[in-house]
Amino acid sequence: MKIFATCLTITAVLAQSASAHYIFSKLVLDNEVSEDWQYIRETTRDKCYMPTKFSSTFDNLTPRDSDFRCNLGSFSNAAKTEVADVAAGDTIAMKLFYDGSIAHPGPGQVYMSKAPTGNVKEYEGDGDWFKIWETTICDESGDLTSSAWCSYGMSQFEFQIPKSTPAGEYLVRAEHVGLHGAQDNQAEFFYSCAQIKVTGSGSGSPSKTYKIPGLYDDTMTLFNGLNLWTDSADTVKKDIANTPIGDEI
């Protein structure tokens, strides 16, 4: 099936900023990479370009808005986005557009939310979200402005759908946060949602749930106040711990 994207092919001129300003567009199932926006709700941005920020936003979207759930305008594309079958316990991945890789320092995480009606195509994501995966600092003595972060250079997030996940349709939201502007309240958020149908006989329930918006705010030092050029790894870890990113899964 041919999926046509409206946030279109990037010219050579834009390629460089596109690799810095990545966006999740593909789902990887059984090591097979989907089309762009086949299973991930496409944004209505005219370019495959992000981020969302608390201040100095280029599109007036901030983490305080409903579209912080799954990206600007993306609910309007929910109906035409396919739903991927995934067995609880399977490992899948969300991959970046245009062979991009993560070129900013900061944590990555994946949240899920169950469609209450059973149909994810009509679900706006206003219910409960829970975290299933996270990646933070891998090398505490490394360069916090780049490769100290496990996700630095990754082109996809690979994660397991927990075995205990009850059957049903879900949004799966992958997110990376670039912290290089956090000293100036300009943390950068990159995120999209896949639509999946979980099969199996799981009967778990999440230990902690969140609402989006409401997940993050700019009173959190991690996003507003932290300085990767001067703060120690311990300080950064404390700042992470004081956000949902630091919560246990």
Part in contact with Cu ion (CB under 5 A); list of ranges 41-49, 122-130, 153-161, 185-193? 185-193
Closest CA relative to residue 174, chosen from 69, 67, 44, 37: 69
Question: Shortest approach of Cu ion to residue 105 CB, angstroms?
Answer: 10
151 vs 165, which CB is nearer to Cu ion?
A: 151
82 vs 188, which CB is nearer to Cu ion?
A: 188
Structure tokens at 77: 């594309």
Ramachandran quadrant class, 149 (left: phi over 0; alpha: psi -120 to 50; beta: rest): beta
- CA–CA distance, 126 with 215 (Å, rounded to integer): 12
Question: Shortest approach of Cu ion to residue 141 CB, angstroms?
Answer: 25
Question: Shortest approach of Cu ion to residue 188 CB, angstroms?
Answer: 5
| Residue bearing tokens 């912080």 | 68
188 vs 218, which CB is nearer to Cu ion?
A: 188
85 vs 143, which CB is nearer to Cu ion?
A: 143
Q: Which amino acid is at 182?
A: A
Question: Shortest approach of Cu ion to residue 198 CB, angstroms?
Answer: 33
- CA–CA distance, 105 with 147 (Å, rounded to integer): 7
Site string for Cu ion, 134-173 (x = CB under 5 A): ----------------------------------------
Number of amino acids touching Cu ion (CB under 5 A): 1
The percent of the chain in helix, strand and coil, each rounded to the nearest 5, is 15, 25, 60
- Contacts for 126 with CB less than 8 Å, ≥ 6 apart: 66, 69, 211
Part in contact with Cu ion (CB under 5 A); list of ranges 22-30, 59-67, 130-138, 182-190? 182-190
Collapsed DSSP state (helix, strand, coil) of residue 42: coil
Part in contact with Cu ion (CB under 5 A); list of ranges 106-114, 130-138, 184-192, 231-239? 184-192
- CA–CA distance, 13 with 161 (Å, rounded to integer): 37
Question: Shortest approach of Cu ion to residue 106 CB, angstroms?
Answer: 10
Go through the chain and tell me how many residues it has. 249
22 vs 159, which CB is nearer to Cu ion?
A: 22
Residue ranges in contact with Cu ion by CB under 5 A: 188
